[in-house]
Amino acid sequence: MKKILITGGAGFIGSHVVRRFVNKHPEYQIFNLDALTYAGNLENIKDIENQPNYTFIKGDIVDESFINELFSLHNFEGILHLAAESHVDRSIEDPLAFVKTNVIGTMNLLNAAKNQWKNNFEDKRFYHISTDEVYGSLGTEGLFTETTSYDPNSPYSASKASSDHFVRAYGETYGLPYVLTNCSNNYGSYHFPEKLIPLFINNIINNKPLPVYGDGNYTRDWLFVEDHAIAIDLVFHEGKNHETYNIGGFNEWKNIDLVKLLCQIMDQKLGRDEGVSEKLITYVKNRPGHDLRYAIDASKINKELGWKPSVTFEEGLEKTINWYLDNEEWLENVTSGSYKDYYQKQYS
């Protein structure tokens, strides 16, 4: 069996990728490496933990000797790298944590792969999962393509941009076989409630204020997380070596319109009168350096690999909201403890 390493598989997107690979690819032995930070949660992958082709390893990608030891124990033929510090607001508070995990952690994995594969790169692949935020902000028009210049604005996006550059540099300098994708905002189950959609669902359930940054006219391009996992599977197997693909939902929403839609659906689901949840909307101080608009041109992955989103936003949002309402225990567990301190600090 080919050994495949997936990093960050206890997080939001990583858990969907691990689940897909374990279930759809019995020919692989999947190793899920995750440090279980505040964002990592083994409950996210409980359903596959006893599968014979699955192994969990707790460890920190920043720890160089641990990574080298791991690679001395296993010959990985493929690496899907998702582990990261992922929240923009936290990067504003603690940029160095983002440099450590997103830059140094990626470097440790690149070095370990390069040393293990020792110039015999046949059938090997390093897949770096990145974000559209590296391109900076769009004005009211235009889309990010694979040739858009990098122009990151937050410590998070700067750290992801840096890691993308190192991946490319290892491809050019050492011939390391890589693929890289830059994806837009994901939503779906197991999304940690520090991000807009799960945070607002949780606050609506609990009748708490919905803190909209600035005037709410900031735009994001939303993609259902399971469609991202499908795209990742496709790019890992069929993407061209040394290529970048943009992945997006063809689905732009101004934050305020999305929040109002969420409020409407939640009122129906919770049996509340129309307009009740909208009253929770509270405009708060803007995020520093807040990017106005992200929107992806996903025509390359569509034309070359035949990928497009499989669910509409209405379907995806319905599934997502139902999941949160059916999994209140998960939501309660992840919003207890340190989450309360984070919330207090961020929103007081």
Residues assigned a catalytic role: 132-133, 156
Question: Helix (H, G, I), strand (E, B), or coil: what is residue 54?
Answer: strand
82 binds ligand NAD (CB under 6 A): yes
| Closest to ligand DAU by CB, 26 or 209 | 209
Interface residue with ligand NAD, options 31, 192, 200, 245 (CB under 6 A): 192
- Angle (CA) 239-184-330 rounded to 5° is 105
In the bound complex, what is the minimum distance in angstroms from residue 85's beta carbon to ligand NAD? 6
The one-letter code for the residue type at 263 is C
The verdict on 220 binding ligand NAD (CB under 6 A) reads no
Both tokens of residue 255? 């934050």
* Identity at 41, one-letter amino acid code: N
Two tokens, residue 347: 């929103």
Number of residues counted as binding ligand DAU (CB under 6 A):
19
CB of 291 to ligand DAU, least distance (A): 7
| From the list ligand NAD, ligand DAU, none, partner contacted by residue 14 (C-beta under 5 to 8 A by kind) | ligand NAD
Residue 14 in contact with ligand NAD, rule: CB under 6 A:
yes
Letters for 112-151 (x = contact with ligand DAU by CB under 6 A, - = none) are -------------------xxx------------------
Q: Does 301 bind ligand NAD (CB under 6 A)?
A: no
Q: For residue 80, give the nearest of 134, 8, 156 by alpha carbon.
A: 8
User: Which residue of 86, 108, 111, 202 would you call a contact of ligand DAU, by CB under 6 A?
Assistant: 86
Question: Which region, left, alpha or beta, applies to residue 7 given φ > 0 means left and ψ of -120 to 50 means alpha?
Answer: beta
Q: What mask of x and - would describe binding to ligand NAD in positions 125 to 164, judged by CB under 6 A? A: ----x-x----------------------------x----
Nearer residue to ligand NAD within complex by CB, 8 or 211: 8
The residue (of 106 and 131) whose beta carbon lies closer to ligand DAU is 131
What are the angstrom distances between the C-alpha of 126 and each of 113, 169, 244?
8, 13, 12
Helix axes 106-117, 155-174, angle to 10 degrees: 10
The site partner of 88 among ligand NAD, ligand DAU, none (C-beta below 5 to 8 Å per kind) is ligand DAU
* Residue 215 burial class via C-beta count within 10 angstroms: exposed 0-12, middle 13-18, buried 19 and up: exposed
Contact criterion met (CB below 8 Å) for 211 and 111:
no
| Per CB under 6 A, 220 contacts ligand DAU | yes
- Residue 262 interacting with ligand DAU (CB under 6 A): no
- Pairing mode, strands 210-213 and 178-183: unpaired
Strands (E) across the chain are located at 2-7, 28-34, 54-58, 76-81, 125-131, 178-183, 185-187, 210-213, 219-224, 243-247, 252-254, 281-284
Q: Does 335 bind ligand NAD (CB under 6 A)?
A: no
CA 54 to chain centre: 21
For residue 266, give every residue at least 6 positions away whose Cβ sits within 8 Å of its Cβ, in sequence order, or none: 201, 204, 205, 272, 277, 321
Among 16, 19, 81, 87, binds ligand DAU (CB under 6 A): 87
- Which residues form the interface with ligand NAD (CB under 6 A)? 7-8, 10-14, 34-37, 39-40, 60-62, 82-86, 101, 105, 129, 131, 160, 183, 185-186, 192
